[in-house]
Amino acid sequence: MSGRFKYSLFFLVLIAASVWLAVFSYPAPKLNIIACNVGQGDAFLVQYKSTQILVDGGPGKSVLDCLSKYMPFWDRRIEVVILTHPQKDHYMGLVGVFQNYKVENFIATPLDASAQEWGVLKSLVGSKGVNVINPNSDMVMRLGLIHLDILWPSSAFLASEGKPPNENRAILSGSASDSALRRVSLYRNGVLGTLTSKKDPNEFSILAILSYKDFNALFTGDIGGPQIDQIISSGKVRDVDYLKVPHHGSKNGLTSKLLEASTPEVAVISAGKNNSYGHPHKEVLDILNSFKIKTVRTDDKGDIELITDGETWFIKSSRDK
Amino acid sequence: MRYFFWPLVLIILALRFYFFFNIPQPYNDGDKIRISSRVTSEPIRYQTSQYLKLKGLKIYLPLYPEIHYNDFVVIEGEVAEDSLKKPKLVSFQEDRSFLANLRKSLQMIFQKSLPQPHAALIAGVTIGSKANLGSDFWEALKATGTAHVVVASGMNVTLVAKFIVTILFLFLKRRRAIILASIAIWSYAALAGFDAPIVRASIMGSLAFVAQELGRLNAAVRTLLISSWLMLMLKPEWVFDLGFILSFVATLSLILFDSRVKSKLGFIPSIIREDLSTSLSAQIGVAPILFVTFGQFNILSPVINALVLWTIVPITIIGMIGGILGLIFEPLGKAVLLLSYPLTSWFIWIVQIFS
């Protein structure tokens, strides 16, 4: 066999193989929510076809393994990254995400942090021309078929911290004003790290209900009891199917009031195996148990994947065989 | 003269080692010290930390800011045996030279084009960077005896050079093809940022290769020995460096065994005979070294290597072409790099099955 023929044939086979792999890796038209097993921290990947929303990045590089595993190999674009609040166990992994993926929108509060790594993330986001959005509880966003309803922080809370509610609305007043629901990319002009506060960063955690057809998921960051009461009294918490248990299952997070208001069917806890905080705390597991809510933990099950067509859902995880 | 030459060479080398390694440790346990130094090899990045070795001390720093090969760092900490405890990065200055930027840009293009561990594999194979491999995949490579493909070794260089000569030989005279292949090897070393492991692999690979192609077997062996000797005189610490040892052994076994192995493989279809004999003959020397260093001996290692080694040349070629195109026009480079996905998938799949 001639050399030229051999190498051309090899080249053609390679092209064919790449195309077939790309076709087979195209995700089914269902919504997936993956609680990535990133150890002691949070990283949740929401995926519908080739649209991704990443909620937090975990404490290190393992979020990249999770993205690599669940995203199609040719998709190097993440439409939305949400950072609930600037603490290392939520943002460290995002540095690698911004380095390796094209991120279009970054939803984060203007709250600053002092760590060296936070500086790295801020300058990285600045240099990549990512659209930064500072959320507040007046915002409802749409990304394809996915809706994102921001519950916290409220404009009043941010205003009390010296952050007037804010540039985002000024931009919007020009566009259609009758509907509250807007495309994510219409929100603009957010900033990072302009707000310093004596309060615990956890209190600034972004709460959002993500919905796809009739399926609703509540993401809660590291929010604590007092803020939960405020959010519930605002009347924005509604019935959901999926709850990310606040603060890795700390007893300073979940309250029975939150469960009464949100009535989830499944609760997911993201915590590291044998972590030094003792998360998830027994108190929280007891509350969940008393409400008879199905509870799954990343320290126990690895990556936890929920798949839904918008009505029914099921769960599988990387460690059940 | 003939009888004195090699013993003399050995004695000189032994003296060099003696004076190099006999320097007493300059600090004691508990000493608070400040190290100002260039980083001598690419730090290894773990989940939440990066590891580097400076002045014989192991140092674990937070993951960010990322430190790279040849950056200048100032680190303070406390000596505890062979490591530096409570290290604090006081300041660091990035190496912004053209070649360093090239190497970093290539790594970035790989990472932006492919998911993990595919991107790490292609970076390891093409430019010898094992920084982002991740501990799971690294363990799997070690367990299957395939770790040598990502430790920049003379083997990759020789495999690629052989391939280039074969291709050029279709169009050119042998001698001209060899000259062009040597130029290709050195452009490749330049692209990899003249990282030390790549340079020595290129020196050994190209010298031995050229000697083998142009002259007799003995000439090739002698060229390899002399060039390795020169390198050890300049950098005695390389004698413990796995990349160096593997470069040396792989090249030596290729020179000694390649033609013999090939003649025994007559029953293999010609389409893979060349690649198979190259990888098998390199394995003769490499396998025992891997066994000693990684302490893991996989009886199936030669089989696994035979299954995956054919992907190394196309991965390297695609990585180089895709990387260069990516520097000029990123989307084009990404498109080319996606072609390596079936190959890296095969490699990773085999490694994971057997580990």
Which residues on chain A are in Cβ contact (under 8 Å) with B334?
76
The string over A17-47, giving b where at least 16 C-beta atoms fall within 10 Å of a residue's C-beta and e elsewhere, is bbeebeeeeebeeebbbbbbbbbbbbbbbbb
Minimum Cα–Cα distance from A73: chain B residue: B115
* C-beta atoms of B48 and A73 within 8 A: no
Whose tokens are 């030390």? That residue is B196
Nearest-by-Cβ selection for B115 from A60, A71, A102: A71
Which of these ranges, A216-230, B32-46, B228-242, B285-299, has the smallest mean pLDDT? B285-299
The reply to whether A82 touches chain B by the CB within 8 Å rule is no
Mean local confidence (pLDDT), B283-293: 76
pLDDT at A173 (0 to 100): 42
Domain A29-317 has CATH 3.40.710.10: no
Mean local confidence (pLDDT), B226-247: 80
* C-beta atoms of B170 and A117 within 8 A: no
The token pair that represents A159 in the structure block: 């205003």
The pTM score is: 0.84
Q: Looking at the complex, report in whole angstroms how far the Cα of residue B167 sits from the nearest Cα belonging to chain A.
A: 8
Give CA–CA dist A216/A240, Å, rounded. 5
Q: Which amino acid is at B160?
A: V
Mean local confidence (pLDDT), B110-125: 91
Mean local confidence (pLDDT), B88-116: 87
pLDDT at B25 (0 to 100): 66
Minimum Cα–Cα distance from A101: chain B residue: B112
* C-beta atoms of A21 and B116 within 8 A: no
Give CA–CA dist B102/A153, Å, rounded. 43
- CA separation (Å) from B108 to A87, A96, A100, B180, B324? 26, 11, 7, 29, 12
Which residues on chain B are in Cβ contact (under 8 Å) with A69?
115
Mean local confidence (pLDDT), B32-38: 88
A2, A11, A50, A73: best mutation site toward chain B, by most B Cβ within 10 Å? A73
Strands A51-55 vs A77-83: parallel, antiparallel or unpaired: parallel
CB contact residues (below 8 A), chain A span 260-279, against chain B: none
Confidence of residue B4 (pLDDT cuts 50, 70, 90): confident
Which of these ranges, A42-56, B174-188, B341-355, has the smallest mean pLDDT? B174-188
In sequence order, the β-bridge partners of residue A132 are A106
Which of these ranges, B53-62, B112-121, B328-337, has the smallest mean pLDDT? B53-62
* C-beta atoms of A61 and B118 within 8 A: no
Which residues on chain A are in Cβ contact (under 8 Å) with B64?
92, 95, 116-117, 120-121
pLDDT at B308 (0 to 100): 85
Give CA–CA dist B250/A37, Å, rounded. 40
Percentage of chain B exceeding pLDDT 70: 89
Q: Which amino acid is at B175?
A: R
The reply to whether A124 touches chain B by the CB within 8 Å rule is no
pLDDT at B212 (0 to 100): 64
Query: In 3-state terms, what secondary structure has residue A92?
Result: helix
Give CA–CA dist B173/B176, Å, rounded. 5
Give CA–CA dist B247/B335, Å, rounded. 32
Rg (C-alpha) for chain B, rounded Å, is 21
Which of these ranges, B58-62, B308-312, B325-329, has the smallest mean pLDDT? B308-312
Give CA–CA dist B104/B106, Å, rounded. 5
* C-beta atoms of A60 and B63 within 8 A: yes
List of residues 6+ apart from A151 with CB closer than 8 A:
A137, A207, A208, A209, A231, A234, A236, A237
Mean local confidence (pLDDT), B92-98: 84
Confidence of residue B271 (pLDDT cuts 50, 70, 90): low
Regions of chain A where pLDDT drops below 50: 169-179, 321
Minimum Cα–Cα distance from B274: chain A residue: A3
Residue B169: Cβ-neighbour burial (10 angstroms; 0-12, 13-18, 19+) = middle
List of residues 6+ apart from B349 with CB closer than 8 A:
none
- CA separation (Å) from B10 to B17, B219, B225, B229? 11, 19, 11, 9
Say how many CB pairs under 8 Å bridge A and B: 80
The dihedrals phi and psi of B312, each to the nearest 5 degrees, come to -65, -45
Higher-confidence position of B252 and A174: B252
* C-beta atoms of A14 and B108 within 8 A: no
Confidence of residue B218 (pLDDT cuts 50, 70, 90): confident
Of B169, B191, B7, B174, nearest to B101 by C-alpha is B191
Summarize pLDDT for B133-163 with one digit per residue, the tens.
877 888 888 788 787 777 666 667 767 777 7
The reply to whether A74 touches chain B by the CB within 8 Å rule is yes
Which residues on chain A are in Cβ contact (under 8 Å) with B117?
65, 68
Which residues on chain B are in Cβ contact (under 8 Å) with A102?
112
